[in-house]
Amino acid sequence: MTMPRIADHALSIPRSGIRDVFDRVESIPDVISLCVGEPSATAAPHVVEAACRSIREGHTKYTNVLGIEPFRKAVADYSARVKGLRYSPETEIQAVDGATIGLYLALKTVLDPGDEVIIPSPFFTSYDAEVLMCGGVPVTVALRPGNRMRLDARDIEAAITPRTKAVIINSPGNPSGAVTPADELARIADVCKRHGIWAISDEVYHPFVFGDCGTDAAAAGDDPMAPSIAAVPGMHDHTIVVESLSKTFAMTGWRIGYLLGSERIIEQTSKLAELMHSSVNSTAQYAAVAALDGPQDQVAAMREEYRAKRQIVVDGLHRCLALRMVPPQGAFYAFVDVRGTGMSADRFSRMLLDEEHVAVVPGTAFGEAGEGFVRLSYAGDADELREGVRRLCAFAERHADPALSRHTPEYHHIVRMA
């Protein structure tokens, strides 16, 4: 009997490296997992009530593929209020089933086979895979500790070829927690406009910033927000913003997000979405309206919680001679340099799990530039985080390679206690 073949294209798509870690964690008892990029909180009560109310009132039918009108209006108001972005709810906003689907729709809309997409590396695990799924070619540009893992317009421009179609922007970044300042985003915007390429901006961690990053909101004395490249003059028609309520409003399981883009982009992304899923979950959309329009107390509280947990990581690693780290300025991740142990990222994470029952993600799950690093999330329980960092440091000191200096040139000008 001859078995039918699976497509080479499907086989060529890489599996998420984070999933490999999750599989191993399930077999280890009493694990302290610092892997999951998920808020420990759940959606606020007024958000849950809005969802339940929508069901009681019978709002359980198909919706417009762009999303219900109140959702698009709420997104428009929130984007203007929080980010200073102006998008029409009638033609420039689309509901999506989470940011990952939004990213895929954006890439599928702008890429032809063989087109190149510049991806700063290390990067969120699905970026390169989704480019490949859309027939594109990922072109990685290394992020450097010496530049605090921020994007650099010069590096991006140096990677542009006649086949370049887009660059993916992620700030605050996963896995690094880096926040690219507004003036550098303006330089990147200039590169995009001069070369006629798209900026696809993943902004799902935008409210989790620990300091003034050059936004209008921060300058006005409001809560700091990461700047958006879409706010740069002239970038409205060059940018596709990918957003989600998963991190901001602790709604990971609700699978609700949105795209912001020009009318000609949304016309195409919505056409593709119609063929893929007809419409987005109606209950999640009504809940999202309450989240976007309602009190933002929980968002502010989560930001302060992450700020305190970040300090646990910064303080713990500051005392560890075998590890280095650029202090994260946003999100809820720390990207830790383990090269002082002489181990690869994969070996370090595997031995740490075996010996100390602490799970972190090897940096290679986020691209080749992640070799020699591991990512930990500080979104979980503070006591577990404190113990996990203690075990991490003890493990690293135990396996430190005396021949490898802690004080490498790329870290010399970085103040490790931020």
Give a yes or no: residue 166 inside a domain.
yes
Structure tokens at 147: 């530049």
Measured on CA atoms in the order 169, 305, 47, 75, is the torsion positive or negative?
negative
pLDDT in tens, 269-306: 999 999 999 999 999 999 999 999 999 999 999 999 99
The pLDDT of residue 215: 45
Same domain, 331 and 245: no
Q: Provide the domain count of the chain.
A: 2
Place 410 in a pLDDT band, splitting at 50, 70 and 90: low
Quote the domain boundaries for residue 384.
Answer: 8-42+298-411
Give a yes or no: residue 244 inside a domain.
yes
| Distance in angstroms (rounded) separating the CA atoms of residues 344 and 364 | 9
Place 223 in a pLDDT band, splitting at 50, 70 and 90: low
Give a yes or no: residue 416 inside a domain.
no
Same domain, 81 and 38: no
| Distance in angstroms (rounded) separating the CA atoms of residues 65 and 133 | 23
Instruction: Tell me how far the alpha carbon of residue 191 is from its chain's centroid.
Output: 22
- Number of CB atoms found within 10 A of residue 57's CB: 9
pLDDT at 194 over 80: yes
| Distance in angstroms (rounded) separating the CA atoms of residues 172 and 207 | 9
Instruction: Please say which residue of 266, 293, 320 terminates a domain.
Output: 293
Same domain, 29 and 68: no
Same domain, 322 and 353: yes
| Distance in angstroms (rounded) separating the CA atoms of residues 151 and 366 | 16
pTM score above 0.75: yes
Same domain, 110 and 73: yes
| Distance in angstroms (rounded) separating the CA atoms of residues 137 and 140 | 10
Same domain, 195 and 337: no
The candidate with the shortest Cα–Cα distance to 339, out of 405, 277, 282, 289, is 405
Instruction: Please say which residue of 261, 293, 325 terminates a domain.
Output: 293
Same domain, 33 and 114: no
Same domain, 144 and 230: yes
Helices (H), 26-152: 45-56, 69-78, 99-110, 126-133
Instruction: Please say which residue of 277, 293, 309 terminates a domain.
Output: 293
Same domain, 253 and 166: yes
pLDDT at 220 over 60: no
Mean per-residue pLDDT, 240-261: 98
Mean per-residue pLDDT, 205-222: 63
Could you tell me which residues come within 8 angstroms of residue 196 by beta carbon, excluding any fewer than 6 positions away?
none
Phi-psi region at 330: left, alpha or beta (left = phi > 0; alpha = psi -120 to 50):
beta
13-17, 281-285, 316-320, 336-340: least confident range: 13-17
CB 319 within 8 A of CB 393: yes
Give a yes or no: residue 351 inside a domain.
yes
Please provide the average confidence, as pLDDT, over all residues in the chain. Answer: 92
pLDDT in tens, 314-324: 999 998 989 99
Structure tokens at 113: 């086979």
Give a yes or no: residue 228 inside a domain.
yes
Same domain, 267 and 131: yes
Place 221 in a pLDDT band, splitting at 50, 70 and 90: very low
pLDDT in tens, 348-404: 999 999 999 999 999 999 999 999 999 999 999 999 999 999 999 999 999 998 877
CATH of the domain at 334: 3.90.1150.10
